């Protein structure tokens, strides 16, 4: 679709592929292509689950720092929101999304991985938010999503120090969900999302919205959101099929309607 970001669909799984050698540096063009591809994946009914993949050697080693040397506060105050919202477009894909991480996921690369529902990490990969070493902080969700995922104390450790973590530590602290040999990372991500291809799409959409939306609400408001989404699913064909199949003791066949 774009020069640096493409969407390929195979058996209901859409792969968002980054391809800006050598390190998939996230420049402005790549960010905007990522936004466009994320919207395409969200709106394509043939895409039931998504994998974000940087290739066999590297996921994304961060922003294109050469761009940062040429801008000041006034320009970055405008650009920063666009940067964050491009990654947010990935987070808002209303389908299961897994990041398949090889090599490095640093800075913006780590933030992109954080925008996914799960992270499958190569056993020799490195992850981190090293922005502090440049005299800045993460600006595309790192301070917010990382703290929500692994807790504020651990997030502060990584963000304040700028240090990288290996796959073993990432798994231990909850930054990684699965670890696999580098050659098997993409296949493992496919295995992770494949069950959702034949799942109840509207219920999966509602579940993701309930969890993600509830994190930004107090408990009472989150419970109200959950109740509304729960009730809404009783207008779907998949709810009828799912409950009927349960009563009839057979496997349901969902249609996403």
Q: For residues 137 and 130, give the distance between their C-alpha atoms in angstroms, rounded to a whole number.
A: 8
The pLDDT of residue 63? 78
Confidence of residue 80 (pLDDT cuts 50, 70, 90): confident
Annotated catalytic residue: which of 3, 8, 45, 131?
131
Q: State residue 240's pLDDT score.
A: 96
pLDDT given for residue 212 in this prediction: 96
Average pLDDT over residues 142-153: 97
Cross-strand bridge partners of residue 101: 121
- Asked if pLDDT for residue 1 goes beyond 80, the answer is no
Tokens of 74: 């006034």
131 is a catalytic site residue: yes
Q: What integer pLDDT is reported at residue 236 of this predicted model?
A: 97
**In 62-174, beta strands by DSSP E:** 97-101, 104-106, 118-122, 126-128, 164-166
241 is catalytic: no
Give the C-alpha distances (Å, rounded to integers) separating 66 from 10, 88, 172. 36, 23, 34
Q: pLDDT tens-digit profile of 115-140?
A: 999 999 999 999 999 999 999 999 99
Distance CA 46, CA 57 (A): 28
Indicate the pLDDT class of residue 141, thresholds 50, 70 and 90: very high
Task: List b or e across 221-233, with b for residues whose CB sees 16 or more CB atoms inside 10 angstroms.
Answer: ebeebbeebeeeb
* pLDDT, mean over the chain: 95
Q: What is the pLDDT of residue 99?
A: 98
Does the CA dihedral 143-131-22-187 come out positive or negative? negative
Asked if residue 154 has pLDDT above 90, the reply is yes
pLDDT digits (tens, 9 = 90+) for 219-254: 999 999 999 999 999 999 999 999 999 999 999 999
Share of the chain above pLDDT 70, in %: 100
* For range 60-84, the mean pLDDT: 83
Q: What is the mean pLDDT of the segment spanning 172-201?
A: 97
pLDDT at 21 over 80: yes
Please tell me the distance from the alpha carbon of residue 109 to that of residue 5, in angstroms, as a whole number: 14
Here the tokens at position 146 are 């990382």
The pLDDT of residue 20 is above 90: yes
Given pLDDT bands bounded at 50, 70 and 90, which one contains residue 81?
A: confident
3-state secondary structure of 247: helix
Read off the pLDDT of each residue in 28-43 and give the average, rounded to a whole number. Answer: 96
Q: Give the residue from 176, 148, 171, 143 showing the smallest Cα distance to 158.
A: 143
CA distance 176 to 114: 10
Conformational region of residue 151, where left means phi above 0, alpha means psi within -120 to 50, and beta covers everything else = left
**Distance between CA atoms of residues 23 and 188, nearest Å:** 22
Residue 24 confidence (pLDDT): 95
Q: Which tokens sit at 5? A: 């970001």
Q: Give the model's pLDDT for residue 134.
A: 92
Per annotation, catalytic residue among 8, 111, 241, 248: 111
The percent of residues above 90 in pLDDT, for the chain, comes to 89
Q: What is the predicted pLDDT for the residue at 126?
A: 98
Positive or negative CA dihedral for 142, 144, 146, 151? positive
Distance CA 63, CA 59 (A): 12
pTM of the complete model: 0.94
Residue 138: count of CB within 10 angstroms of its CB: 24
| Predicted pLDDT of residue 75 | 84
Confidence at 155, pLDDT banded by 50, 70, 90: very high
């Amino acid at each position: 679709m774009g020069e640096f970001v493409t969407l390929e669909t195979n058996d209901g799984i859409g792969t968002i592929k980054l391809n800006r050698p050598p390190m998939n540096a996230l420049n402005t063009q790549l960010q905007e292509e990522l936004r466009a591809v994320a919207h395409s994946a969200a709106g394509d009914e043939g895409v039931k689950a998504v994998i974000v993949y940087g290739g066999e050697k590297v996921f994304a080693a961060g922003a294109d720092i050469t761009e940062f040397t040429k801008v000041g506060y006034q320009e970055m105050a405008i650009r920063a929101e666009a940067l964050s919202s491009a990654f947010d477009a990935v987070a808002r894909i209303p389908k299961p999304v897994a990041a398949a991480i090889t090599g490095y996921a640093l800075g913006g690369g780590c933030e992109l991985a954080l925008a996914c529902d799960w992270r499958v990490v190569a056993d020799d990969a490195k992850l981190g938010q090293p922005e502090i070493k440049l005299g800045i902080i993460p600006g595309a969700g790192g301070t917010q999503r990382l703290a929500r995922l692994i807790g504020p104390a651990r997030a502060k450790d990584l963000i304040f120090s700028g240090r990288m973590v290996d796959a073993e530590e990432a798994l231990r602290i909850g930054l990684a969900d699965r670890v696999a040999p580098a050659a098997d990372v993409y296949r493992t991500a496919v295995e992770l999302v494949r069950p959702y291809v034949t799942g109840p799409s509207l219920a999966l959409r509602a579940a993701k919205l309930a969890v993600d939306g509830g994190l930004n609400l107090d408990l009472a408001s989150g419970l109200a959101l959950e109740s509304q989404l729960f009730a809404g699913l009783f207008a779907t064909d998949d709810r009828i099929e799912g409950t009927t199949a349960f009563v009839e003791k057979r496997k349901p066949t969902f249609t996403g309607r």
